[in-house]
Amino acid sequence: MSRSKHTDPRGIRAARRLRAPREGRGAGAPTLSRRRGRSLKAEGIASEPTRVKRATSPTRPRIVARPPRPGFHHPASPGDLLGALEWAGPEASYGVRTIELRRAIGGQFDALPSFGRYCVPGRIVLYEQPIPPWHLRGVLAPDAAALLQRAGAALTVHQPGPTTVVEWPGDTLRDFMLVEVLLHEIGHHVLQHHKGKRAARIARTGDHEAFARAFVKARRLRWSGPMEAL
């Protein structure tokens, strides 16, 4: 069966394009190399051995960090973000242009904060978070409570009110931002980017969310903390 580098699995293509983002589509294609060899052989010319190119450093996304407001912080540092991308592999990081650590939308301290969002093409935004413990108005919805508790948060409901107090022991909030937020947004990116329609939404919201949740679930059990940024 005829084979070219364009039929390689998605992860292999992503790793190659991270190493050489401006390389032409035909560069290094096995079919072109074989065709050239046959042509030289027919003319009685010995083909020269292929020169092995020196490996280049993978292209990394640009990290843009905005200072948080008083009472807020960025739980994951730029080094944490790069380490998480290294850990997630080339399929996840290929095509991610920027990751922004930004101030949150609005100024409420007593509501569940916004965590992040994906903007096509290739831009991920992670919002600042209130410094724990969080004192949230009312009782969290079951899905939201389960998400926080699975990430290691401790939830306590106080009366009257009621008020929900959310505590984040150790590095649990940092890991929550890296796994449940960053990798979730990368899941949206992978679905968009590898479909080739990078500037237009290619799936319904429900399907997009289902893919991103599955992307995180497939990697959550392997998580043991971000690797050092290389």
What is the pTM for the complete model shown?
Answer: 0.71
Q: Tell me which of 21, 39, 59 is where a domain ends.
A: 59
Looking at the predicted structure, is the pLDDT value of residue 4 above 60?
no
Predicted confidence band of residue 37 (pLDDT cuts 50, 70, 90) = low
What's the pLDDT at 182? 94
Q: Do residues 5 and 46 both lie within one domain? A: yes
Q: Would 11 be classed as within a structural domain?
A: yes
One domain for residues 33 and 129:
no
One domain, residues 115 and 186 = yes
**What is the model's pLDDT at position 117?**
92
Residue 52 shares a structural domain with residue 71? no
Shared domain for 26 and 40, answered yes or no, is: yes
Contacts of 51 (CB under 8 A, 6+ apart): none
Say yes or no: 37 and 78 in one domain.
Answer: no
Q: Which of 59, 88, 104 is the last residue of a domain?
A: 59
Cβ neighbours for 134, distance < 8 A, ≥ 6 positions apart: 113, 164, 165, 166, 167
Are 149 and 50 within one domain?
no
pLDDT of residue 228 exceeding 70, the answer is: no
Where in the sequence is the domain holding 213, given as residue range(s)? 62-220
State mean pLDDT over 22-40. Answer: 60
pLDDT of residue 104: 86
Shared domain check, 159 and 133: yes
pLDDT tens column, 45-96: 655 555 544 544 457 889 999 999 999 999 999 999 999 998 888 878 888 9
Decide if pLDDT at 230 tops 70: no
Query: Is 77 inside a domain boundary?
Result: yes
- How many domains does the chain fold into? 2
% of the chain surpassing 70 pLDDT: 67
pLDDT digits (tens, 9 = 90+) for 150-178: 999 999 999 888 999 999 999 999 999 99
- Residue 155: phi, psi to the nearest 5? -110, 130
Whether residue 78 is found in the same domain as residue 122: yes
Same domain membership, residue 213 and residue 151:
yes
Q: Which residue has the higher pLDDT, 18 or 150?
A: 150
Domain boundary among 59, 85, 103: 59
Decide if 229 is inside a domain: no
Query: Using one digit for the tens of pLDDT, what is the confidence trace for 92-150?
Result: 888 899 999 999 876 666 789 999 999 888 899 999 999 999 999 999 999 999 999 99
Q: Are residues 17 and 76 in the same domain?
A: no
Same domain, 90 and 194: yes
Whole-angstrom distance, CA of residue 205 vs CA of residue 219: 22
